[in-house]
Amino acid sequence: MDPILTLAARSTELLCAFSLCLQTVEFFWLREPLSERGIWAFSVQKGGLAHASSWVQQLFAILSKDSVHILHLCLRLIAVLCLGVYGASLWLVLFLFLGNVAILIRWRGAFNGGSDFMTMVVLTGLLIATILGAFNKQELGWRAGLIYIAIHVTSSYFIAGWVKVLNQDWRQGKALALFLDGGVFGPLANNSLYWRRWVALLCTWSFILWECVVPIVFLDPRLAAGYCAIGVIFHFLVFWYFGLNRFVFAWMATYPAVIYLAVALA
């Protein structure tokens, strides 16, 4: 394969593996609340599957048993390590993809919001690459998979930015302070800088403009690399202020695809 494509593909595999490893370890840490005696037991959550057929409900009742859940996490961790060491293969990615779908169905679509969506985007890109690779179309598969990821992540940023533009509370800087008030370091003190209008506006519009100008990344690979570097800082701040640790690596796993597409279009 083309060296740039190879580098982008391998970087995606490694970052995805690290992100999934972090998520799997987190589920191990939460095994008590997720157990049959925990506050997130399937007996509590199964109402979300009330509309499904009886065999689907029975399937998830089995998958949610403590022993099966722990077995799945162990197998998932092994699969993630294999992804990082040996790279993607069809059956490996298919297992990770279906396992992630099963987890999200239990959580009615999302356990940790946007990070779950981006994880599925990356896994879908890897699935596209490995399916085409199984038909001796490895280079085409990786191109298609990386472009799929790049389109999804950039459109996600663009939409998020314009949603804020259309929302009066975001435009006026009010929303940021309110979110921070309920964040890790909240409630904010009455004299907090974030209650000051000019600080809130500066921070808010910095994020909004960064999200809205995302199409420029495809004009030059250097712009793409710079944009992704700022993205790492942005998602670290989201983690720092809101405790959303998955966001950093879930989104970083998409950046090799963004830079690759910028190089391909240059």
Among the listed ranges 39-43, 143-147, 232-236, which one has the minimum average pLDDT value? Answer: 39-43
Q: In terms of Cα–Cα distance, which of 2, 226, 244 is closest to 117?
A: 244
**pLDDT band, very low/low/confident/very high, at 89 (cuts 50, 70, 90):** very high
d(CA 255, CA 252): 5
Q: What pLDDT was estimated at residue 230?
A: 95
Q: What is the pLDDT averaged over residues 108-116?
A: 79
Q: Mind listing the pLDDT tens digit for each residue in 35-78? A: 888 888 877 777 778 788 888 888 888 888 889 989 999 999 99
The number of folded domains in the chain is 1
Residue 23 reports pLDDT greater than 90: yes
Cα dihedral sign, 232-238-240-244: negative
Work out the number of other CB atoms within 10 angstroms of the CB of residue 215.
11
Among the listed ranges 149-163, 176-190, 210-224, which one has the minimum average pLDDT value? Answer: 176-190
Q: What is the pLDDT averaged over residues 190-217?
A: 90
Joined together, the tokens standing for residue 157 give 């940023």
Answer for the pair 178, 200: CB distance below 8 angstroms, yes or no: no
Answer for the pair 257, 146: CB distance below 8 angstroms, yes or no: yes
**pLDDT band, very low/low/confident/very high, at 10 (cuts 50, 70, 90):** very high
Q: What pLDDT was estimated at residue 232?
A: 95
Q: What pLDDT was estimated at residue 160?
A: 93
User: In terms of residue numbers, what domain contains 251?
Assistant: 3-265
Peptide bond into 256 cis (omega under 30): no
